[in-house]
């Protein structure tokens, strides 16, 4: 990476990409570094981001851009651990609590999981918000604490430190307010710069597709997955991706405390079939990436090993895994309008309802309610009877029900009894 701060200027780099030229390694290193230092103004980087959105980047450009973002901060090193490492990243969805049972499950199979997670924004939930519903649990760990916990227990879920890819933090905020979030080169480099800097040996990407996902279209989702797998491969990280359905929300809950409770059910050998299916599928990918092929993660769910790691992991971060979880003060039940078959349940509608009930936030600094969210009592294909509970809405603030109910309107269909409902496969494709 070049150290020559005056090697280029912002207008030169912007016009090169505007005119559909491939940016040189030197241009990329300079502009990412200069923007992180504050030598390139926000309006200039916004202009470059728009040019990238409109004109794209080659694989070489994206790889170099990702490398420059990694170089803006620290890179973690887990080579001292006595076991291999693997991590998972989800592009976000509704009811996506998979990280909670997945990390202890993979650890129970002999692979360390350094899971650096984030908070929710808008209709997609955040892993840290869910875990903070557990009394006493803390998200912030020092690097030394993280290493100690990985060595002793094999799993940690915590907040990323400020030192990882600071260029991404600055650029992400800019993209959010300039209409450039959708640029696949910038999405891919944002995700992968943090994951590669995290230092894991293997990485599995869960790229969601459907109404409740960031990517609504399967072809765009596949393009994003292929781009990220290539970035991981170029950086020497064994990377695979699963395209998974997010037209229907995962499991039976969307919220914080209620998703923790559902995750514990999975760790106890029960839980919704789709959550179990995706947890085990991702665990198998992570184990394969780490070179462990002689353990079936389904067995570790069944024999209680994963639950043991979960409880130890929560206790290690000052949480009480046996304490009662917070419960919302108010609830409202939505009943089935007719007898028949639930033929559709829209993930975005459910996610917006949970957000409006207080489970999510509109701005990063907003608080969330631990007990708020939505429970659905049927999934597509299930028989329902007129008047039976279909949804339970949970919140501490009764005035939130009206807007949450409005977001559920048109978000589900009940077809006549006997209607055949063919479910969308949960796992659409595998890349890598």
Provide the sign of the torsion angle of the four alpha carbons 283, 221, 157, 358, taken in this order.
negative
* Spatial separation of the C-alpha atoms in residues 340 and 66, rounded to whole Å: 51
d(CA 75, CA 234): 16
Q: How many Cβ atoms are within 10 Å of 406's Cβ, its own excluded?
A: 14
Sign of CA dihedral 172, 251, 331, 323: negative
Tally the residues of the chain: 432
Cα separation, 219 vs 207, whole angstroms = 12
Kindly list the catalytic residues: 89, 168, 175, 190, 194
Please, are residues 311 and 305 in contact by the beta-carbon 8 Å criterion? no
CA proximity to 171, closest of 65, 63, 46, 50: 46
How far is residue 101 from each of residues 166, 366, 416, measured CA to CA in Å? 29, 27, 36
Q: How far apart are CA 144 and CA 161, in angstroms?
A: 12
* Alpha carbon distance 86, 203 (integer Å): 6
Q: Are 395 and 401 in contact (CB under 8 A)?
A: yes
Please state, in angstroms and rounded to a whole number, the distance separating the CA atoms of residues 137 and 23.
Answer: 45
The three-class DSSP label of residue 154 is: coil
d(CA 278, CA 215): 18
Q: Is 221 exposed, middle or buried (0-12, 13-18, 19+ CB in 10 A)?
A: buried
């Amino acid at each position: 990476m070049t150290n020559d701060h005056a090697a280029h200027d912002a207008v030169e780099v912007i016009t090169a990409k505007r005119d559909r030229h491939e940016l040189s390694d030197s241009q990329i290193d300079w502009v990412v570094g200069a923007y992180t230092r504050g030598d390139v103004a926000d309006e200039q980087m916004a202009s470059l981001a728009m040019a990238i959105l409109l004109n794209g980047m080659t694989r070489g450009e994206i790889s170099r851009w990702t490398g420059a973002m990694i170089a803006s901060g620290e890179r973690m090193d887990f080579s001292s651990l006595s076991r291999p490492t693997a991590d998972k990243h989800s592009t976000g969805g509704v009811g996506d609590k998979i990280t909670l049972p997945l990390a202890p499950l993979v650890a129970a199979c002999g692979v360390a999981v350094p899971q650096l997670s984030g908070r929710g924004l808008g209709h997609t939930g955040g892993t840290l918000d869910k875990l903070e519903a557990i009394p006493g649990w803390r998200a912030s760990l020092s690097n030394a604490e993280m290493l100690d916990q990985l060595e002793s227990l094999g799993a940690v879920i915590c907040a990323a430190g400020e030192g990882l890819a600071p260029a991404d933090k600055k650029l992400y905020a800019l993209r959010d307010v300039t209409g450039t979030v959708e640029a696949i080169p910038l999405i891919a480099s944002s995700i992968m710069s943090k994951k590669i800097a995290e230092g894991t040996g293997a990485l599995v990407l869960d790229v969601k597709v459907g109404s409740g996902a960031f990517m609504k279209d399967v072809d765009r989702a596949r393009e994003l997955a292929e781009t990220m797998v290539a970035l991981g491969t170029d950086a020497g990280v064994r990377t695979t991706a699963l395209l998974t359905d997010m037209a229907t929300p995962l499991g039976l809950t969307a919220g914080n405390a209620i998703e923790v409770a559902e995750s514990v059910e999975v760790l106890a050998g029960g839980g919704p079939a789709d959550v179990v299916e995706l947890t085990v599928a991702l665990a198998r990918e992570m184990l394969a990436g780490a070179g462990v092929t002689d353990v079936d993660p389904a067995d570790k769910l069944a024999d209680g090993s994963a639950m043991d790691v979960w409880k130890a992991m929560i206790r290690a971060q000052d949480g009480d895994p046996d304490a009662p979880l917070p419960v919302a003060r108010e609830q409202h039940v939505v009943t089935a309008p007719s007898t028949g078959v639930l033929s559709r349940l829209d993930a975005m509608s459910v996610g917006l309802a949970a957000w409006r009930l207080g489970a999510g936030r509109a701005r990063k600094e907003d608080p969330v309610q631990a007990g708020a969210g939505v429970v659905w009592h049927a999934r597509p294909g299930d028989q329902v009877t007129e008047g039976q509970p279909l949804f339970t809405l949970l919140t501490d603030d009764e005035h939130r029900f009206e807007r949450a109910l409005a977001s559920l309107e048109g978000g589900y269909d009940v077809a006549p009894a006997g209607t055949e409902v063919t479910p969308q496969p949960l796992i659409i494709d595998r890349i890598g």
